[in-house]
Structure 1
């Protein structure tokens, strides 16, 4: 089992997870940091316009969203879906798992405004 804390991720951890034989979990402190980051991002979006979070994007950048209700969550999901495109060959499982564990470690550092991830164990 590899514990992701957002502070360190070794190459050997990435290799172990990529191979598929090692499970991953977030440490409680990483989950707490991610939740605090989410609260901070939400509070900021409630206090002023934040591109793509409390406003639309592109030509809709001046359209305000109600960041306090479900519209903001629906907007976020729709934004992700609208940018989900195919760009080349399908990657092998090991490469995808390596990419995901690296991204999870980045999110666990809570530098970007990241939503709390569920489930906390894969």
Structure 2
């Protein structure tokens, strides 16, 4: 929810002050950080779902957005991220199915925390 809140805030800023200031939302992939140790401990590991990217890739994307002649609206920091953003924008129902399949049948197939999702989508564990 916090990522969507940030995107909504950027959309609001763009509407309110976008004629005076460029507003870009950067969407990094998974970056290895201490937060992932705590999510692993809670059974919510993203290992196998998302590939970690080097911090330098995120920094490069931010620098490119800051130095662009016109601020880009949305910036994904990986090729896969750009493909996922395009899929979500142009085929949202398909993107939803891919996410449900990834969570319900993929890396979280045995995870007790994903039980409700698997049950709702016909893959009870």
Please identify which structure carries the higher helix content: 2
What TM-score, normalized to structure 2?
Answer: 0.22
Return the structure number with greater relative CO, CA threshold 8 A, min gap 6.
1
What TM-score, normalized to structure 1?
Answer: 0.22
